[in-house]
Amino acid sequence: MRPKTILAAAVTISLWASAFVAIRAGLEGYSPGHLALLRYAIASLVFAGYAAYRRFGLPAMKDVPGILLTGLLGIAVYNIALNFGEVQVPAGPASFIVSSTPVFTVLLSTVILKERLNILAWVGIMVSFSGVAMITLYKQGDFKLGWGALLVLVCAVTQAFFFTLQKKYLVRYSSDRLTAYIIWSGTIFLSIFTPGLFQQVWRADPGSTLSAVYLGLFPAAIAYAAWSYVLSKLKASVAASFLYLVPIVTTVIAWIWIRETPSLFMAIGGVITMVGVFLVNNRSRLFTGGASAPINTQQAKSGH
C-alpha cells in the first residue's frame, strides 16, 4: 500500500471521527437544525468551487429525483437526527451506534435484493443489536429508553438506505461528482432551517462557529475527497477495514477536545456493537455459498 493511500485513509478516519466531537462542540452555540444547515452550506460552497474547477456537468434529468432522495436521507435526515441525538448522547457512544450501519445495509439486502444470510451473519446482527441496545438504554447510571440514542440509531438506518439508493448512480457518475450532487441536494432540504440562522451566527460564541466551519470544510468536504481517493486505490473490503477505527478515534478525540469520558457500560456496549459489525462484515463467510456480498458496505459508513 502506497504512503499516499495510507495518508488519505488516515485523514478520512480522523476527520470523520472528529465530526461527532465537533457536533457536540457546535451544539453549545447552535440549535441542531441551524448547525446542520451551516455545516452543509459551507460544504456546498466548497464543492461548488471544486465542481467549477473540474467542470462538472449537471446530472441527467432521469437521475435527479433519485439523487434528491439520496441527499434527503443521506445528508438532511442523517444530520438532523445525529445533531438532535447528540444533544443527549456523547460523541463516542454516538459513533459506535452509527457504526452499526453495515448491519442495516445487510438487512436491507435480504429484503430488497433477496440475499440469503448464514448463521454467522445472523449471530453478528444479534450481537450488534445487543451492543446498540446497551448504549440506547443506559443513561447516567440508570436504564431507560433514551430518545437521543434512538435518533442516532435512525442515522444508521438512513445511511443504509443512503448506500442502497446511491449504488446504481456510482456506475454512471464518479464518486466525487456524485458526492457533490448529493451534498447540494441535502443542503436544499436543510434550508428549511434558514429562518433565524443569521441571528444565531451573530449570537453564537466563536468556538461554536469555528466548530461549524470545521465541520463544513473538513469532515463534510475534505474527508469525502480523501475517501474517494482511497476507494480508487484499494479494494472495497480493504478500505472498509479502516473504518472500524472511527469509533475508537472518536472516543480519544472526545476525551482530548471536550473532556468527554464515556461510562464503562457504554464502552462495553460499543465494543459489543463493533464485534457484531465485524461478524456481519466478514464477506468471505457472510452469504451462503461463500459468495461476496454485492452490497459495498464500506460506502454505507461514509455519510458523516
| Residue 264: per-residue pLDDT | 77
Write out pLDDT tens, residues 62-90.
Answer: 999 999 999 999 999 999 999 999 998 88
Q: For the residues 193-206, what does the mean pLDDT come to? A: 95
- Lowest mean pLDDT across 169-178, 217-226, 233-242, 274-283: 233-242
As given in the structure block, the three cell numbers for residue 120 are: 454467522
Pairwise pLDDT comparison (242 vs 279), residue with the higher score: 279
Nearest C-alpha neighbor of 296 from the set 233, 240, 230: 240
CB 220 within 8 A of CB 40: yes
* Better pLDDT: 42 or 281: 42
Contact assessment for residue 57 and residue 64, using Cβ atoms and an 8 Å cutoff: no
User: Do 274 and 42 touch, CB atoms closer than 8 A?
Assistant: no
Cα angle, residue 159 at apex, residues 252 and 300 outer, rounded to 5°? 75
In the predicted model, is pLDDT for residue 165 greater than 60? Answer: yes
Please tell me the least confidently modeled range out of 37-41, 105-109, 177-181: 105-109
SS3 letters for 17-58? HHHHHHHHHHCCCCCHHHHHHHHHHHHHHHHHHHHHHHCCCC
- More confident position, 157 or 22: 22
Which 3 state secondary structure label does DSSP give 287?
A: strand
Residue pair 300/160 in contact by the 8 Å Cβ criterion: yes
Q: Strand, coil or helix: what is 142?
A: strand
Instruction: Show Cβ contacts of residue 121 under 8 Å, excluding neighbours closer than 6 positions.
Output: 106, 279, 280, 286, 287
Is the predicted pLDDT of residue 40 greater than 90, yes or no?
yes
Please write the tens of the pLDDT for every residue from 120-141.
777 877 887 788 777 767 655 5
pLDDT of residue 281: 65
26: left (phi over 0), alpha (psi -120 to 50) or beta: alpha
Stated as kind and residue range, the H or E segment containing 138 is strand 138-139
Task: Report DSSP letters for 175-242, one per residue.
Answer: HHHHHHHHHHHHHHHHGGG-TTHHHHHHHS-HHHHHHHHHHHHIIIIIHHHHHHHHHHHS-HHHHHHH
pLDDT digits (tens, 9 = 90+) for 99-121: 777 777 777 767 765 667 678 77
Q: What percent of the chain has pLDDT over 90?
A: 38
Q: Helices 264-280 and 91-98, interaxial angle, to 10°?
A: 20
